[in-house]
Amino acid sequence: MKKTSNLGKLQREADRLMQELGRKKFPKSLISGLPTQVLHHFVPKSVSSMLRYDWDNLIPLTNAEHCRLHQSPNPTTNARILEIKGMDWFKELKRRSVMYHKVNVAMYQAVKARLEAEYEDLLR
């Protein structure tokens, strides 16, 4: 049981760090240009662990835009994302989404270290 809770803790820490860093890297929503509040996983986390921490898969949005995407999906919003990002971006995400990525403590430690280093670089 300890291993699972440690894994969950590392995942939460990495997710929090990714969101915090992402708001700094992408200060404006891709859709509205308003301040970014959350990063949306275009390819859902449940579909691809490989893309969970991949900047190409993360779309900066406001909380309202993110809620609308999840609660009442509007194909216009996804179409707008595709229009802005392009079909080559989408095809590459689709290709990488089926790749296998072993999820374990070592993976989350590596992700956290990478995100922490990116955060430090951004602050310089």
What is the overall mean pLDDT for the chain?
91
pTM, two decimals, is 0.89
- Taking only the tens place, the pLDDT of each residue in 66-85 is 998 888 777 888 889 999 99
* DSSP conformation class of 72: S
Question: What is the average per-residue pLDDT within 2-14?
Answer: 82
Asked if 15 and 2 touch (Cβ cutoff 8 Å), the reply is no
pLDDT of residue 2: 52
Q: Where are the alpha helices (DSSP H) in the chain?
A: 2-25, 63-71, 75-85, 87-97, 105-123
Question: What is the average per-residue pLDDT within 85-103?
Answer: 93
CA nearest 43: which of 84, 8, 95? 95
